[in-house]
Structure 1
C-alpha cells in the first residue's frame, strides 16, 4: 500500500513538497504541496502528457499564456509541447496530484 506517509519525499522550488506515489518509465504519480505565494518554473515536456488534479485549495495554471483557476476536485491535462506553470497565488497551501505519462525524468525544458 502506498501513501504520502511512506512515499519518497523531496523538497523543490520555494519550500514545496513532493511525494513519489509511483515511479516507472511508463508513468509517474506525485502528490505535491505548494505553500502560499509559490510557483514552479515555466516549462514544457517533449514527450510527457500530464494530468494535474487538485486535492485542496485553489491553484493558478498558466497554459500557453492563458491562466485558469483549478479548485479542489478539478483537473486539467497538459499535452506535450505546451508551456505551463503551476502557481499558488492564494494565501493558503494547496495540494494536488500530478500524473505524467510517460515519466518526465529527462523531459523537462524551461521556456
Structure 2
C-alpha cells in the first residue's frame, strides 16, 4: 500500500504540531511530522528506541544531551537510546521531517525535567 499524509493516521502533538504514522509496527515506526514556526517539544529520552530525524523541508533544531544541532533540508541525525533530546523550530517557517524509530517508541518516552536556562 502506498503511504502518504493523505491516508496515514494523523495526530496532533506539542504546540499545534502534526504527525502522520506512515509505518506503525512493534519493531519500527516511521512518522512524518510538521512543526510550525517557533514551536518545540519537551526534553525526553527513550530507553529502548533509537531514532533518526530526516528533514524534508525547512530547518529543524535538535538538542541532544545539551548540544544543539541544526538540520536543513536533506540532512538527518541519529539519536541513540538513552540520550536526552528535544526537537524545536526557531525558524520563521514550518519544518517537515521524518522520524524513524527502532523499535517503536509507544510506551518508551520519558519526560525530563527542564533545567534552569532552557
TM-score (norm 1): 0.99
Question: What CA RMSD, in Å, does the superposition of the two structures yield over aligned residues?
Answer: 0.5
4+ residue runs over 4 A deviation? none
1:28-47, aligned counterparts within 5 Å?
28-47=29-48
Q: How many residues align?
A: 111
Deviation per residue, 1:41-70 (Å, 9 max, x gap): 100000000000000011111000000100
Question: TM-score scaled by structure 2?
Answer: 0.93
Aligned to 1:4: 5
**Equivalences for residues 16-95 of structure 1 within 5 A:** 16-95=17-96
Gap regions ≥5 residues in structure 2: 113-118
Q: Any unmatched runs of 5+ in structure 1?
A: none
